[in-house]
Structure formats: C-alpha cells, structure tokens
Homo-oligomer: A and B are copies of this chain.
Amino acid sequence: MTPKVAQFLRECAPATPCLVLDVDRVAENYARLRAALPLARIYYAVKANPAAPILARLTALGSAFDAASFEEVEACLAAGARPDSISYGNTVKKASAIAAAHRAGVTMFAFDSEPELLKIAKHAPGARVYCRILVENKGAEWPLSRKFGCELDMARELMVKAGELGLDPYGISFHVGSQQTSTAAYEGAIARVAMLFTDLKEAGVKLRMVNLGGGYPVRYRQEVPGIDDFGAAIMGAMTQHFGNDLPEMVIEPGRFLVGDAGVVSSEVVLVSRKGKDDPVRWVYLDIGRFGGLAETEGEAIRYAIRTPHDGGADGPVTIAGPTCDSADTLYEKSNYRLPLALRDGDRVELLATGAYVTTYASQGFNGFQPLAEHYI
C-alpha cells in the first residue's frame, strides 16, 4: 500500500467496499518497465483497469494501449490517446466493432483464425495485422488455456494470406499467461516466434513485430521475480534468436502497471463458526467473487490481507463474500490465518487489488452495488 493510499484511507475512511488507487504508482511502474525493457513499446492492457485517470496519465507518459473491445478503444480516445497508439488486441471481434475501430483511426488488429482475418480485410482494409499463436502457459497463476492463439502451421498460412488480402502482415503475438512467475516461459515462446519469422521470410513475407503480451507478475502473498529479471530473460532470448535483426517489440502489461497501485477496503460483515468446536472461523467480507474479486476463482490469485489486529494471535479462516451464493467463497484451501480479535465492523484491506477488480464486479448480484472507486 503506498503512503498516499494509506493516508487517504486514514483521513477519509471511504464507504466500503471501495478501491483506492494511487495513480502516481502507475507512473512509477511504467517507468520501471520502460527501464527494464527499453526497446519495447508499452501497450497498456486496458481491461486490467480502464479508469479514465489511469488512461489519461499513461497517455501523458507516451504509453500505447491494448484494447479488448471497441468500447475500450473509445475509452482510450476519450482519455486523449491517438488512434494509431491503440492495438485492437482481442482476436474475437464483431464485424461492426472492427468497422467502428477502423473508422476511428485504429490501424492495428489481432487475429488467430481465417474467419477473423477475412473480417478484418473487409472492415479494416489495409490494416496492420498480427497473428496470435498458442504457447505454453506453465508457471502462470492465471493461465490462458487454448482460447486464444492458433497452431504455428496455421499462423504461417494465415500471415501469407493476410498479404494476399491487402492487409499488412505486421507480426506475431503470444501470451504466456497472467501472473506469470517464470521467466523461462518467455524464452520458449520467443523461440517459436523466431521460427515463424524465418519460415515466413522464406515465403516472401517480412514480419516486423513481436508482441510479447503481458503477464508480468505482481507481489501478492509471495515474492515474484523482479521486472528486471523478465527484461533480461526476454532480451536474452530475443538477441539469441534474432541476432542483430531485432524486430519491433510490443508488450501489453496490465496487472504489472496497476496491480500494486490499488487497495480494496472492505468491512467484515461476520465472523462465525459452523460448530462450537470448529477450529476454522468463517470471515465474511462485504466484497467477494461477484463484487470484483473474480480472480480468486479456484483460489488462483491470493491477495494479502491487512487487518487492524495484525500482530496479535491468529487462527485459520475461510474467507467468503457477502452474497447468498456459495461459489462466492474466496479462500478455503490456501491456509489463510487472520487475527482472533477480528470482529464484524472491522475494516480490512486487500492489497495489490488495482488490476482485474473493478470491471469484473457484477452490476448488482444479490442487490449489492459495484464497489466505489477512488483515484488519487
């Protein structure tokens, strides 16, 4: 928690649940990432947190943007971003959304299938396109399965076809999974991309860009490798595989830029036991999986929690949200312990919750309104 967030919580005691996010910390994270990967252009993954103050600050810093929808394109433009700094990075887009982005001046589009490529050729003629390939997600705490990306063979054919369709076959992208804690994940993926570059060059298609995706981790309960380690691993692999002929490099950080800038403040609604001798207490917060903490699904992302009683005797707890849905349970198997003194009415803070919280919040499940947001 940054000093500015701590001061705001102390002095303003905003109604819970809420997110308080220090926009200066976003700028600091942007600077750290720039320093770690000076050759890469940063496209902020807007979906991590599309709040206008974040987009405006990043625009002022010279960031580009990775948009998942036309609505996110519009949010970037509203914050002052230039259309040619926006990549429409979702490989699944309605034809109408492609056309709208094209009209708005967006020139860079992702795809991973022939039908999508045909849509782009028709509705954004001449656009720069990049193909997303499937890579291993080992080491990621929020892995991405096979939903996005295609096999290498198909990527090769489609990039040739892109040129034939009058599009600009710009590059290749991959994603090693979110909250990726292994630097090795990037090395294997870069090797695959380099093979594609070579094959396509032989086929007469000169690619110019590698999109390394995002996934750079944030410290939650456990230490993670520093961003410099990722920078070194990525640059090592790039020079190993591309030598002196380095392509343009794009990165799409989301969590890394905004995650540790934010804190969710929540009220304890109830602390109870299921039976008299049950050693485990149930702690119910006023925010849960359907209030924004969706990444606690499967206990994948394990946030650190601060309470007013930290340092006192503690015991094991199951932590749940406020709704009548049992799926709204945050942590049952992750060995959380909280102070025995914890009571309903206490305020607790969930740390490093600046990413992937606000927009996930349901519009009103069980009648609960989405959390408030304070950007300071």
Listed in ascending order, the chain A residues whose CB lies under 8 Å from chain B are 46-47, 50, 67-72, 74-75, 89-95, 112-116, 119, 134, 142-151, 153-154, 157, 267, 269-276, 278, 282, 284, 286, 290, 294, 297, 320, 322-329, 343-345, 358-370
Find the B residue at minimum CB distance from A46: B367
Q: A92-B269, A115-B270, A150-B275 known; A362 and B360 CB under 8 Å?
A: yes
Q: Which residues of chain B come closer than 8 Å to A294, judged between CB atoms?
A: 290, 327, 362
Q: A274-B134, A276-B153 known; A92 and B360 CB under 8 Å?
A: no
Verify A147–B360 contact, CB threshold 8 A.
Answer: no
Verify A115–B271 contact, CB threshold 8 A.
Answer: yes
> How far apart sit A93 and B344, CA to CA, in the bound complex (Å)?
10
Q: A94-B267, A112-B272, A114-B272 known; A70 and B367 CB under 8 Å?
A: yes
Q: Name the distance in Å between A70's Cβ and chain B's nearest Cβ.
A: 7
The answer, among B270, B272, B274, B367, for a CB contact under 8 Å with A72, is B367
Main SS of the interface on chain A?
loop
Q: Name the distance in Å between A94's Cβ and chain B's nearest Cβ.
A: 5
Q: A286-B94, A290-B360 known; A270 and B147 CB under 8 Å?
A: no
Q: Which 4 A-B pairs have the closest CB atoms?
A: A71-B367, A113-B272, A151-B275, A69-B367
Extra inter-chain contacts (13) besides given A69-B368, A94-B344, A113-B273, CB under 8 Å: A47-B366, A67-B367, A68-B366, A71-B369, A72-B367, A93-B269, A116-B270, A119-B344, A150-B272, A150-B273, A154-B273, A297-B327, A360-B365
> How far apart sit A288 and B227, CA to CA, in the bound complex (Å)?
33
Task: Pick 14 A–B contacts, CB within 8 A, sort by A.
Answer: A47-B365, A68-B367, A69-B322, A69-B367, A72-B367, A95-B345, A115-B343, A144-B326, A297-B297, A297-B327, A359-B363, A359-B365, A362-B362, A362-B363
Q: Name the distance in Å between A156's Cβ and chain B's nearest Cβ.
A: 11
Find the B residue at minimum CB distance from A155: B275
> How far apart sit A344 and B113, CA to CA, in the bound complex (Å)?
12
